[in-house]
A and B are shown apart, each in its own frame.
Chain A
Amino acid sequence: MSANPIPPGANDQFRAAFREEALDLLRQLEALLLGLHEENTDAEHVGSIFRMLHTIKGSGAMFGFTILAAFTHHLENAFDCVRCGKIPVSRALIDIALECSDVMRGLVINNDAGDMEPRLSLGQRVTQIVASASPEGITALPEAEIVPAQEPAETRAMRLWRIHFAPGPDMMRFGADPLLLVRELGRMGALQSTMDLAKLPVLDEIDPTCCYASWDLTVETDADLVHLRDVFLFVEDTCELSIEHEPSPASPQSPHQSVASALLAPAGGSLEPANISTNKDAASEARTARGGRLEHGVPENSGAIRVATTKLDQLVNLVGELVTVQARLSELALRNDDVDISAVAEEIERLSAALRESSMSARMMPIRDTFERFRRLVYDLARDLSKSARLSMEGCETELDKTVLDQLGDPLLHLIRNSMDHGLEQQEERLRVGKPAQGNLHLNARYSGASVLITVSDDGRGIDAARVRERAVERGMISADASMTESEIFNLIFEPGFSTAKEVTDLSGRGVGLDVVRRNIESLRGSIEIASTLGQGTAITLRIPLTLAIIDGLLVAVGEQYFVLPLANALECIEISRDAIDNANGKHLVNVRGDVVAYVRLREYFGISAALPEFEQVMLVSTEAGRYGLVVDRVLGDCQTMVKSLGRMYRQVNELSGATVLGNGSVALILDPHRLVQECIKGALTPLRASARSPGRPQSEPRSGPERRSADNSSPKIVPISQKPASEGAPGVRHE
């Protein structure tokens, strides 16, 4: 005999798909549970929760997640009772349901994971809630993790249903198993079932992934049409289904008896196909009759597919490379002054721009999911801290690159925990100071140029700047006579180890966390701003770039050094003569139609020594600090720029957000105008900041600024690429 090893289960892909779907459903379930209050017992809301649980249970069982299915069954029962008005919605029920959703999530991720005891105990608590509130009382408590059969409800009338179920050819391809559906019907009551293989083709023509069998079933059950239909919830669109009620209940024979003869029948007899008529119209009518119900199954034509993030990353990387090659082509066309190549280069530029837009938009996701995750956190924290808090959200449709979104979760988590722990007061304290008993935590996202601003605000006690300062002096972070703005004082809370908390709680107070928040945000090339009014609340705003991959930029040059300025920040360009600069007495100010605008000369800032042109260009940029000018030698034009991260050596260089390779092969540094201006402002305050530092404390790396930079080619932070030592490899920027 020859052995043909079977490759690892083809079902794995279906199980993986189920995991993804189930995790999505659990997220929705959690949101629905959190939206449920004693006052909000909207039937549709409760119905949605029930159907979601039913879906998770049914499809879980279908894909072999038997423990999940068994566990979910308890909660499904409870919400069935809520749906039927047998038990009321209570805080206890919501809390237990949320606990159950956590356990279910664990079971989805790892079907065999975890200790059984807590699950059983949770299942018992659910059953107790149902039993305690039900007049009849439900005494049977779960003793083991076996998918429980539908408990017989003596009080409900038994009815006989005739069901014709013919799976469509695609049903099994979507991962559904018809036998499991028929089995589920069997759990609802006495089932008589006949399988028909009339449509089974000859062996040679069979497609193993198609289902050719159909079933005629009669089931005597107390379940109603809705419950019966729920069994087929996921597959109704991929099968023929008719469910009809028989007026008088029959006494079905034992299914064992009815099929035993068939099983033992001689081959000749049993191999003849039965003549079964199907009822397509009835099935479609039945589908129509579902009207208005929430669907969780596979939509007929959803117009969307799931794509692995790695595939999108690969696509964006390739587009990035294409952009670089396109730049080389444009450069070549320009150099050779060839009209034909220029025309092709322009066409490729247009196409690559469109391709870039499309591929980037595929990575953009609304921030809603990230925000929604915190509903549960706020709910749990409010309960643990005995506070009353409400989470409101705004701008949930604001889209961000998925990579950015993935990295935003932790910083937001820290900020929300801090707000809940330190910001919002206890109810009594709030009432005493004339605030509503319930505190408000607000999440807001909005676009600002090429960035998104995400604000976490609360109406709590605010930050006591005096206390922060006092604490910073105590810890030797600043000297007692340091002159600092309120904003600088607030920023101290992001210093490692800083905490004003009188006591350390489970949540915060150890001074660990906010420095990590800042580090995480800065790693995203973002920044943090704090605004706080004592007694009124705090708002922490994160400025995050929309995407980390490809940006539209304006290529500028100083001497032989190229820079890319994000186009989203560029306002306009004006010319300034060398005379005007020379006669300004060192004041870096330019008059723009009557407005005085400060400027930074990149030549001086980065210490680039090159021949001075007669006229320099002032690029006006919008920044968080207002409108500023960046003076360059030449403005070369717009370009698509694939952002490459800078090497470790340049990690501390805040003014640069990355580098890119130009069409001629040279490297251009990508400027971060916000930070550049911030650094300049900080640089101007350097003497004050220096005096603010405690003499006893080792001074940290001085921040960069124009004063320390001017014509200083040996600056440890900025080394112009054109002057990079050859030993470190031209052009001095390491690509990662």
Chain B
Amino acid sequence: MSLEWGREEGISRVCLSDQADLSIAVELKPALLQLLSPRPRVLSIDLSATTELHISVIQLIWAAAREAHRHEVGFELHLPEDKRIRDSLLEIGVTLPSSCVPQIVQEPAA
């Protein structure tokens, strides 16, 4: 299991992999707080490489999504790639926040 995070060009990224369990959650909270302060343009959470999601991690993702929403920070979530993980969460009524990234309006070409 691992947790990687950083900020690049106004996008705060956090990437979880393997089993995202309680011990990851303990590390994830301060990481999220740092990533949201100062406010980034987008908070991006990548769960694509996770094989298991603990409820403590899910709670933090929800809280981060709400925080982002409250401060008009874009929120991007990459769901686990493994369909079984996604299905197993759905089966027990566990939902994850949806991505909500503000569209960048392209200047019309001159």
Show the binding face of A for B, using Cβ within 8 Å.
Answer: 1-7, 9-11, 172, 177-179, 182-183, 186, 191-195, 197, 200-204, 206, 208-209, 211-213, 215, 217, 255-256, 258-260, 262-268, 270-271
Contact = CB atoms under 8 A, between A and B. Distances in A.
B97 A267 contact: yes
Contacts of B21: 9-11
Interface string B16-49: 0000011111111101110010000000000000
Contact of B60 (A1, A182, A206): A206
A597 B65 CA distance: 90
Given A202-B67, A211-B55, A271 B26 contact: no
B54 interface: yes
24 contacts: A1-B15, A9-B21, A9-B23, A11-B22, A172-B22, A177-B54, A182-B92, A183-B88, A191-B91, A192-B93, A194-B93, A197-B62, A200-B66, A208-B29, A208-B60, A255-B91, A259-B94, A263-B90, A263-B98, A265-B95, A266-B98, A267-B69, A267-B75, A267-B99
Interface residues of B, number: 49
B38 to A, nearest CB: 15
B96 A263 contact: yes
Contact of A178 (B1, B23, B36, B55): B55
B10 interface: no
Q: Which 6 pairs of residues, A with B, have the shortest CB-CB distance? A: A193-B93, A1-B6, A267-B100, A10-B23, A208-B25, A203-B63
B91 A270 contact: no
Contacts of A260: 90
A179 B19 CA distance: 14
Nearest to A8: B23
Given A255-B92, A256-B87, 15 more contacts: A1-B8, A4-B3, A4-B4, A10-B21, A172-B22, A191-B92, A195-B94, A200-B62, A203-B67, A206-B59, A213-B55, A215-B93, A259-B94, A267-B65, A267-B100
Contact of A193 (B1, B55, B92): B92
B36 A270 contact: no
Nearest to B16: A6
Contacts of A194: 93
Given A11-B21, A268-B69, A208 B56 contact: yes
B65 A6 contact: no
Contact of B23 (A7, A183, A258): A7
A520 B11 CA distance: 69
B93 A6 contact: no
A182 B91 CA distance: 9
Given A179-B94, A191-B91, A271-B69, A203 B36 contact: yes
B21 to A, nearest CB: 6
A20 B93 CA distance: 33
A215 B96 CA distance: 15
A709 to B, nearest CB: 65
Contacts of B15: 1
Interface string B52-92: 00111011101111110100000100000000000110111
Contact of B90 (A2, A4, A9, A256): A256
A183 B91 contact: yes
Contact of A206 (B29, B88, B90, B91): B29
Contacts of A262: 95
Given A11-B21, A209-B22, A264-B98, A197 B59 contact: yes
A263 B32 CA distance: 21
B5 A1 contact: yes
A202 B64 CA distance: 8
B63 A201 contact: yes
A271 B63 CA distance: 9
A213 B26 CA distance: 17
A410 B56 CA distance: 46
Contacts of A217: 93
Given A6-B24, A267-B100, A200 B63 contact: yes
Contact of A204 (B1, B26, B33, B100): B33
